[in-house]
């Protein structure tokens, strides 16, 4: 698993070509407050049961509030054979502060 900054993620999302899967692992109430556009929402506790919804060949960026839970999920996915994994440093909190200041914060 690699770490990715919000600036690096923004560049990936703006670049031509295939986009990474944005895997938001926060709880539903958190996801309702704010999320990065295009995110796939699977709460952390549901990841093991919903693994089949994720493609091991896709580039996946795990996202949570500040980066702790997403790092745990990325580590779990790595142990399941996923190779193209990133953890978003600072999570949606950093995204809201540094990329999208209009985004709701909590």
Active site residues: 64
Report the distance separating Cα 21 and Cα 45, nearest Å. Answer: 19
**What is the Cα 85 distance to its own chain's centre?**
10
Taken in order 72, 44, 65, 6, the sign of the CA dihedral is positive
Report the distance separating Cα 105 and Cα 97, nearest Å. Answer: 9
């Amino acid at each position: 698993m690699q770490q990715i900054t919000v600036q690096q993620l923004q560049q990936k999302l703006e670049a031509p070509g295939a986009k990474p899967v944005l895997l938001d692992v926060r709880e539903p109430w958190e996801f309702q407050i704010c999320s990065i556009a295009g995110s796939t929402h699977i709460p952390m506790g549901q990841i093991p049961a919903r693994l089949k919804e994720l493609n091991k060949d896709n580039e996946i960026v795990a996202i949570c509030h500040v980066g702790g839970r997403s790092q745990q999920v990325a580590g779990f996915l790595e142990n399941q054979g996923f190779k193209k994994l990133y953890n978003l440093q600072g999570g949606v909190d950093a995204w809201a502060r540094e990329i999208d200041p209009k985004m709701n914060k909590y």
